[in-house]
Amino acid sequence: MPSPADTRFYPGEILDDSPGGGGAPRSWPLVSGVMNNLFSGVSIPADTENGSLSIRKVYFGRVAGASEFVTASAYVDNADVGTRAVMFQHGGTETPRGAAADALVTAGQFIPKPGDPDMTTILTNTLGRVIVVTGDTVTLAVGDLLRFFGPTGAHGVACVTAIVGTGVNTAGVATTTLDFTPLIGTSGVALRTDTLCVRCEPAPEDPVYYQNRRIPQPAFALGWKFVLDQPSASEIRVVDVFGLPLPGYTQIDPPPVGSPRNALPEWGGHVPVFRRGGRVLLRNGTNSEQATVLDIRWSNTLGHRLVLSHNLQHSYGDGGTIHSLSRISAGDDLVAPEAFWVARSINRTPIVTPQFHGSVTIGMTNLDGVATCELPWDNSGMPGGQGAAPPPPSGDTVYPLLSPDGTIPAQASYYHTHTLAVTLEATGAALPVESVSLSMEDGSVCWSLTASGRPALYDIFAESTTPQLVRVEIDSIDWLFLVESASRTRSGPADRSVTITGRSAAMVSGEPYALPSQWGNDGRVTARAVCENAQSGTAIEWHVLDWHIPDKVLTFAGSALALVQRVSEAIGAAVICDRASNTIFVVPRYPRMPADWAATTPNVVIAEEAIRSDSFVRADKPNYTSVWVSGQQQGVLGQVYLAGTDGSAQAPLVTDLLITDSVAVLQRGRSVLGGSGPQARITMTLPVMTGAGRPGVLSPGQLVQVGTWRGVVRSVAVNATLPTVEQTIGVERHFPYP
């Protein structure tokens, strides 16, 4: 039964107000009531006197294995005077904060309900008001462009939007209070990180850059120097900063001829004129993409707000559609995890109490109840994510591994007594087997069985007309196999050996047991539904992010199992079946990237003392830091970076018909980048230790710590010839990580 208790809220990976904020869901959920778990602590007096707007990405997800959760409504509670919050859906899982913030400000599509914060106020918070020392010779006018210089050498351009008044400061110097909108900054200026420059390509008369983005906060401080470019090069300095809202935007387009801003050298002497249908080049740092102007929503004296169609996907992830801003409303069926945004606005209010705390509560309701999460903050100014729990070694957010966590400890000696039983599943009859080898290779879907024994095996299996199930139990760990072949060799009267081989029971979903079919999709479906609906009797446990496949994109011929493999291949996921049940797991090959392994609790700790033999083979791959992943006819295109790199080492383009969503792009990218770089394959033979705190037979996907280094188990083999039972694991280790 779907229940709110199965619901989790996951924060995005990047909990700050940079344009790239947001990111993929973290693997651990928000804990209700933990201080600064999502929003940063409020900095006093910077945030409270100037106001601040924070936008955070939150994913609505559910406990692994829980049923789909249909929301009846989603809401956000504003608990505090002086704080306003709103929750909205926008873009896909890869949409960064910058795009969401822009959508929030392009508020024409946002219809607030009673009690919602006034988005216009948030909008105007972004403009600045300063009092500058004007001196005797400088006359400021609306439309003047100011060059500003920060104490660290940073500089940029701002535009005067209103003259509020003139006066004399306490030093007796003449001042002018003016409103401005910062336009362009250089690197090193705080606002620069949130700017997006737009160049108007088709208009040769305006081959210039233009800033059209909102700045989150007035980024100027006392002492900053402004230079009035025209008509004279006089300097003015900021003596005070306000953050008051600016009423009365007007559209001046094209700008007045003769405006001093036209002569600004950085702009090539012109201000661009945007037209509907014109093509523009979007720049964000070193990245660029082309887009088409669909609409001009509003403009102030200089700043246009454009609605653009993205011809190329970049980090916006919305497949060539216009970003839409819509409220999560009753009846929305959220496919977990679904991203939405929570915007918190701290009003400009004087602090009357020394301790400033606040919180918002986000929630989801359906007919079964309410799931809520309280997100408090304090006045510590600490960044968000302070209360985030460390990633658990396993749990509801990490896909369930098939064997328990544990330790193979260091001991002076290892004494084990093993049991081995091989029985016919139908009758429970013991089979005369002398030795058993079980293995799951890297990339393999299933366990393979090779068992040799007495001639009686020949009578049971050689001429069988139906597939027979065999249960292998080693130290109380069960495997279930479909016996697929029996071979016998005879030499002389007494020398007879029979060998049987088989594969895991879940292979009934594949050939030759399931006949190949033609698969396609009518209407939009999710990848998970495609895989689940194809099965008859085989359970699919889906532990990757689901994504939508548009109408009639999927075409495939093969068995139901091959279909699961095909869909999983699109996102680079691994398909592995359970040891002893008819269940298939779809799991990420890199649930954590190699760089994160050191910070992750390992599933199994192996002491070197226990290793009976090992081998080390260095197996380096190109050290890619980014990859373009593309769909085809109805797909999307996206680039996936390794965090902390410039992404300049690009892997070859990956193309797949089923890359139809940015979620798929991200997962495929992780798979490609996770497998690249310097690495080694280590195989080691270990004892099989069972009991409390012992891992038994390891599973592919487990993170192991061996001595001082860590790696992920990729292959497992068990050899049982009593009295000896050993397991041999293959481990993928990456450098330079420990």
Partner 1 sequence: MSTLTNGSTTANLSDDLQWVDEFAWNPVAQKTGRTITGAFWVDAQPVTAGRAVTLQGDDNTGWASRADVVALHALAATTGPLTLTLRGAAHSVVFDHEAGAAIEARAVVGYADVAAGDFYILTVRLRTL
Distance CA 68, CA 62 (A): 8
Distance CA 78, CA 63 (A): 27
177: its two tokens:
């209070």
Distance CA 342, CA 101 (A): 10
CB of 606 to partner 1, least distance (A): 11
The nearer residue to partner 1, 691 or 736, going by C-beta atoms, is 691
Under 8 Å between Cβ of 459 and 413: no
CB of 421 to partner 1, least distance (A): 13
CB of 684 to partner 1, least distance (A): 9
Task: Please tell me what DSSP assigns to residue 220.
Answer: -
Distance CA 698, CA 404 (A): 8
| Cis status of the peptide bond prior to 723, with omega within 30 of 0 | yes
Strand-pairing partners, residue 488, are 498
The nearer residue to partner 1, 99 or 610, going by C-beta atoms, is 610
Q: What is the largest CA-CA distance in the chain?
A: 119
CB of 487 to partner 1, least distance (A): 24
Distance CA 385, CA 302 (A): 37
Other CB atoms within 10 A of residue 360 CB: 24
* Start-end of H helices in 634-688: 662-674
The nearer residue to partner 1, 329 or 615, going by C-beta atoms, is 615
The nearer residue to partner 1, 109 or 437, going by C-beta atoms, is 437
CB of 462 to partner 1, least distance (A): 23
CB of 683 to partner 1, least distance (A): 13
CB of 419 to partner 1, least distance (A): 8
Beta strand spans in 550-609 (E): 555-558, 573-577, 583-588, 604-606
Task: Please tell me what DSSP assigns to residue 704.
Answer: E
Q: Which residues bind partner 1 (CB under 8 A)?
A: 410-418, 608-614, 687, 722-725
Strand-pairing partners, residue 457, are none
Sequence-separated (6 or more) residues with CB below 8 Å from residue 476: 419, 690
The nearer residue to partner 1, 191 or 689, going by C-beta atoms, is 689
Residues recorded for the chain: 738
362: its two tokens:
């986000």
The nearer residue to partner 1, 67 or 411, going by C-beta atoms, is 411
The nearer residue to partner 1, 150 or 696, going by C-beta atoms, is 696
The dihedrals phi and psi of 308, each to the nearest 5 degrees, come to -120, 145
Exposed/middle/buried for residue 213 (C-beta within 10 Å: 0-12, 13-18, 19+): buried
The nearer residue to partner 1, 331 or 723, going by C-beta atoms, is 723
Beta strand spans in 596-635 (E): 604-606, 613-618, 626-630
The nearer residue to partner 1, 230 or 721, going by C-beta atoms, is 721
The nearer residue to partner 1, 417 or 489, going by C-beta atoms, is 417
Exposed/middle/buried for residue 476 (C-beta within 10 Å: 0-12, 13-18, 19+): exposed
Exposed/middle/buried for residue 259 (C-beta within 10 Å: 0-12, 13-18, 19+): buried
Sequence-separated (6 or more) residues with CB below 8 Å from residue 526: 335, 546, 547, 548, 549
The nearer residue to partner 1, 612 or 618, going by C-beta atoms, is 612
CA angle 35, 41, 43 (to 5 degrees): 155
Sequence-separated (6 or more) residues with CB below 8 Å from residue 531: 540, 542, 563, 564, 567, 568, 586
CB of 10 to partner 1, least distance (A): 42
511: its two tokens:
């050939």
Residue by residue, DSSP assigns 153-202 as: S-EEEEEEEEEEEEEE-TTS-EEEEEEEEEEEE-TTSGGGGG--EEEE-S
Pairing of strands 197-200, 420-424: unpaired
The nearer residue to partner 1, 131 or 682, going by C-beta atoms, is 682
442: its two tokens:
């890297």
* DSSP reduced 3-state for 98: helix
Distance CA 7, CA 63 (A): 6
The nearer residue to partner 1, 292 or 719, going by C-beta atoms, is 719
The nearer residue to partner 1, 309 or 497, going by C-beta atoms, is 497
CB of 616 to partner 1, least distance (A): 11
Under 8 Å between Cβ of 374 and 33: yes
307: its two tokens:
């609605």
Q: What is the amino acid identity at position 116? A: D
The nearer residue to partner 1, 640 or 684, going by C-beta atoms, is 684
CB of 476 to partner 1, least distance (A): 15
The nearer residue to partner 1, 417 or 536, going by C-beta atoms, is 417
Under 8 Å between Cβ of 271 and 254: yes
The nearer residue to partner 1, 691 or 723, going by C-beta atoms, is 723
120: its two tokens:
């216009």
